[in-house]
Amino acid sequence: MLFFIEYFAVINDKKFANFENAKNKVMETTLDIKKRIHTFIDHADERMLRIINAIITNEEFEEEGKSIVPESFYDEIDERKMRHLRGESKSYDWEEVKDRTRGAIK
């Protein structure tokens, strides 16, 4: 984060007297963002609230070291990979995929 702040200051030709000024600027921005989000949530419709709730749920899962993606999904991906490596499934290179897609569109 510190590198980003210094880099951001340089690319925007802003000169901060010292790092504390840059840090304070970020804190002000963070507070402004929080206020803006609170205002937005107060007026959000149900669809938007569900989206925000999904983001929060995902963050909570990640903090606990869990995943929203079920283990069965990863198992299926592993099985498909093994079938591919054993030559039991059809696969296509990128050019074939593009050609097939273009053919389906016509």
Residues 12 and 41 in one domain: yes
Predicted pLDDT at 97: 93
Q: Which residues are CB-neighbours of 40 under 8 A, at least 6 positions away? A: 48
Q: Do 6 and 40 share a domain, yes or no?
A: yes
Looking at the fold, whether 53 and 13 belong to one and the same domain comes out as: yes
Render each residue's pLDDT in the chain as its tens digit; 106 residues: 444 444 444 444 455 455 556 656 666 788 899 999 999 999 999 999 999 999 999 899 888 888 888 899 999 999 999 999 999 998 889 999 999 999 888 7
Asked whether residue 83 falls in the same domain as residue 100, the answer is yes
| Residues 72, 80: Cα–Cα separation, whole Å | 12
Indicate if 51 and 82 belong to the same structural domain: no
Q: Are residues 61 and 74 in the same domain?
A: no
Shared domain check, 22 and 1: yes
User: 12 lies in which domain range?
Assistant: 1-68
Say how many domains are in the chain: 2
The pTM (predicted TM-score) of the whole model is 0.41
